[in-house]
Amino acid sequence: MQSSRVPLVLSLFFAVAAWAGDHPSTPENTAPAASTLPRQVTAAGSADSLAADQLLLRDHLTTLANPFFEGRYPGSRGGKLAADYIQWHFEHLGLQPAFKDADDPTKPTFRQPFPGPSHNEIAKQGFEYTANGKGITLAPGKDFNVLGLSGNGTVTAPLVFVGYGITLGEDGYSSFPDSGPSLEGKIAVILRFEPMNEDGTSKWSKDGWSFSAGLEPKIGAAIRRGAKGVIFVNAPGAKDDRIDKLETVNSITSREPYEAPVIMATIDSVDALVRAADPEGRSLLDFRKLVDEKGVVVDLPDASVTIDTEINKVRPLTDNVGAVLPGVGALADRYIVVGAHYDHLGHGQVGVRFPSDRGQIHPGADDNASGTSGMLLIARRIADQVAKLPPDAPRRSILFVGFSAEESGLNGSRYYTQHPIVPIENHDFMLNLDMIGRLGEKPLEAGGVGTAEGFADWLAPYFESSSLKIAAKQSGMGPSDHASFYAAKVPVLFLFTGMHPQYHRPTDIAALINWEGAAKVADMAYRIALDASLRPEPFVFTSPSNVTTTEGDQPPPPVRGRIRFGISPGDYSGEEKGILVGEVLPETPASKAGLKANDLIIKWNDNRVASVEEWMPYFNAAKPGDVVKVTLLREGKEMNFDVTLEARGGAR
């Protein structure tokens, strides 16, 4: 066998050297010098082969996007089934398990387990009260739920009604007038939404609710005023499709839990409680009408209420699923990665665009059953094709991998780059398929063409022979798994057919897929991956100019929080609460959406943002590619703008 394999000691030395300098130039990259052989460019698939590919894509995609997989949330039943599905196909393609079992490294496995996104699990929840000498115990899941931002603890206390819990609303409205009972040591009853008209619509906003209806500031306001617990309830009669909805421990969460127990209860159960606790026997609707006019705090002394909550944050394990097609000869220890994330939003636990979609299954047909199906199709076609190649033709090994937990912050791909099957320096190129199913008017985005020397030229024949309109982008950054590899100095190519209104909604379904488009994208990706595995020349990593990374850098934190919006806030201390736009930076999401200097941003996806501080949690929680609804005041007029966020320094 090949002498090129440098004895171990030397390879370690070179590995370190690689880490120190531009790694591709190390002798480690033992690919023979630029060959004199004519350039291998695999031809585009014929109409028949594309038609066959469409059928295979349809099989995979409609299966993975079937509600039976419940939106493939990491660590969930549906997520595990999707991993089983991918592994089954890898096995039936005769590919080798990519990983070693953590407990028994001699045992090969297709699975690389890692901690997925955290979610809340209820350890304990109780809600009961005594009034008029009678004890009432309410049923969890039916009459009430603990909310995900709740603190843990047990509190027994009298009630106090604080209306909408709004510190500062329109026209100086406040739920906490200077005079009136204190909240100290009591359990506060807070109404959802804001002062409304007889018909249940907002008095302060023409569509939906104004920024003042934000939930977290209400709970914060009550607890800051001494409340020892919070009962949150939908305001009876409100015109909102969530009126009968009981939020859950995972639908309403926060970065940090509050110090007091916080539950949400149904209108009926709170109405019965308030009637019993109020010496005048008023109903919850009576109280709503009271605070529709002006903010008041009312003691409800005739009941003693106990709330008991305990939540545990759990991070279930989830799996990257990987398989290898071993290489041959001098290139065998070099790796090409063909990857796609198979996870999605489940029942809308994370990443939903509209709160009202929470709780619904998000099939994720385009995001990313399409890319996963493309990856499986490419695995099949390459496995078939290499069987026809001369057995000793030098060829890189190919890792096919389904990543998990991409939606919660590229967790699977980042975990892989930190726990690779071979040193990350041996990874010559990563091809990422994320949302390839909705080819439309817009050209296919091909990101990362600037991440290897001469890459754009090398890719050109594939783009040209693909009969696809392609928008090539230099940067290797972006809102998907290739960014983890780019950060580890691996040349990348990201294929993406573009945003659409169904993105991150329950409506991202298989019926909307452009099968012919997806087959064309997958065919081009197949040809690029195959030829990349056979390419005699080394891949020399380069980082397009606008992104500098220094040696030994940890992969950047999850793309989440690294978005670019494109304004610099101005100095502002006006009456109206909000963020003054001081300057709009050119070529940014904000400028593309039409924001102007002197606009006053007051809402971010219907959440109040009265200051930059209040805006930051929402800003940092956003992900490149997200479309956010920004509400602002321009010359006093309220206007809405849909802004598509981009990765800082990224093209999209």
Shortest reach from residue 652's CB to Zn ion, in Å: 12
Q: In whole angstroms, what is the distance from residue 651 CA to residue 179 CA?
A: 54
Residues with Cβ within 8 Å of residue 568, at least 6 apart in sequence: 582, 583, 585
Pick 186 or 353: Cβ nearer Zn ion:
353
Shortest reach from residue 363's CB to Zn ion, in Å: 13
Pick 414 or 527: Cβ nearer Zn ion:
414
DSSP H or E run through 542: none
Shortest reach from residue 76's CB to Zn ion, in Å: 17
Chain residues 430-459 in contact with Zn ion, contact rule CB under 5 A: 434
Asked if 61 contacts 373 with a C-beta cutoff of 8 angstroms, the reply is yes
DSSP H or E run through 188: strand 187-191
Pick 367 or 531: Cβ nearer Zn ion:
367
Looking at this protein, which amino acid is placed at residue 318? T
Shortest reach from residue 371's CB to Zn ion, in Å: 7
Chain residues 415-434 in contact with Zn ion, contact rule CB under 5 A: 434
Pick 309 or 368: Cβ nearer Zn ion:
368
Shortest reach from residue 596's CB to Zn ion, in Å: 32
Pick 251 or 368: Cβ nearer Zn ion:
368
DSSP string covering 79-111, please?
HHHHHHHHHHHHHHTTPEE-EE-SS-TTSEESE
Neighbour count for residue 69 (Cβ, 10 Å) = 25
From 405, 192, 204, 406, select the one nearest 316 (Cα to Cα): 405
Task: Burial-class residue 210 by CB neighbours within 10 Å (0-12, 13-18, 19+).
Answer: buried
Q: In whole angstroms, what is the distance from residue 146 CA to residue 124 CA?
A: 9
Shortest reach from residue 578's CB to Zn ion, in Å: 32
From 205, 425, 236, select the one nearest 335 (Cα to Cα): 425
Pick 236 or 351: Cβ nearer Zn ion:
351
Report the Cα 31 to chain-centroid distance in Å.
Answer: 38
Shortest reach from residue 122's CB to Zn ion, in Å: 29
Shortest reach from residue 344's CB to Zn ion, in Å: 7
Counted residue by residue, the chain has a size of 652
Pick 334 or 347: Cβ nearer Zn ion:
347
Shortest reach from residue 71's CB to Zn ion, in Å: 12
Structure tokens, 379: 């695995």
Shortest reach from residue 267's CB to Zn ion, in Å: 37
Structure tokens, 243: 């009126």
From 473, 650, 436, select the one nearest 559 (Cα to Cα): 650
Residues with Cβ within 8 Å of residue 436, at least 6 apart in sequence: 366, 370, 371, 374, 444, 495, 496, 497, 517, 518, 521, 522, 525
Shortest reach from residue 233's CB to Zn ion, in Å: 36
Structure tokens, 87: 């592994």
Report the Cα 7 to chain-centroid distance in Å.
Answer: 44
Pick 212 or 368: Cβ nearer Zn ion:
368
Chain residues 104-143 in contact with Zn ion, contact rule CB under 5 A: none
Pick 269 or 368: Cβ nearer Zn ion:
368
Q: In whole angstroms, what is the distance from residue 483 CA to residue 180 CA?
A: 55
Neighbour count for residue 409 (Cβ, 10 Å) = 17
Pick 416 or 641: Cβ nearer Zn ion:
416
Chain residues 557-576 in contact with Zn ion, contact rule CB under 5 A: none
Residue 278 in contact with Zn ion, rule: CB under 5 A: no
Pick 349 or 368: Cβ nearer Zn ion:
368
Pick 28 or 367: Cβ nearer Zn ion:
367
Shortest reach from residue 44's CB to Zn ion, in Å: 26
The beta strands (E) that lie in 488-591 are given as 492-496, 563-564, 567-569, 579-584
Neighbour count for residue 568 (Cβ, 10 Å) = 12
Asked if 149 contacts 252 with a C-beta cutoff of 8 angstroms, the reply is yes
Shortest reach from residue 364's CB to Zn ion, in Å: 8
Shortest reach from residue 193's CB to Zn ion, in Å: 33
Residue 212 DSSP code: G
Binding-residue pattern over the window 50 to 89 for Zn ion, x denoting contact by CB under 5 A: ----------------------------------------
Q: In whole angstroms, what is the distance from residue 593 CA to residue 629 CA?
A: 10
Chain residues 352-391 in contact with Zn ion, contact rule CB under 5 A: 367-368
Asked if 507 contacts 451 with a C-beta cutoff of 8 angstroms, the reply is no
Shortest reach from residue 375's CB to Zn ion, in Å: 13
Pick 486 or 615: Cβ nearer Zn ion:
486
Pick 62 or 465: Cβ nearer Zn ion:
62
Residues with Cβ within 8 Å of residue 112, at least 6 apart in sequence: 98, 99, 319, 320, 321, 322, 415, 416, 419
Residues that contact Zn ion, how many (by CB under 5 A):
3
Structure tokens, 45: 């698939």
Pick 485 or 641: Cβ nearer Zn ion:
485
By CB under 5 A, name the binding residues for Zn ion. Answer: 367-368, 434
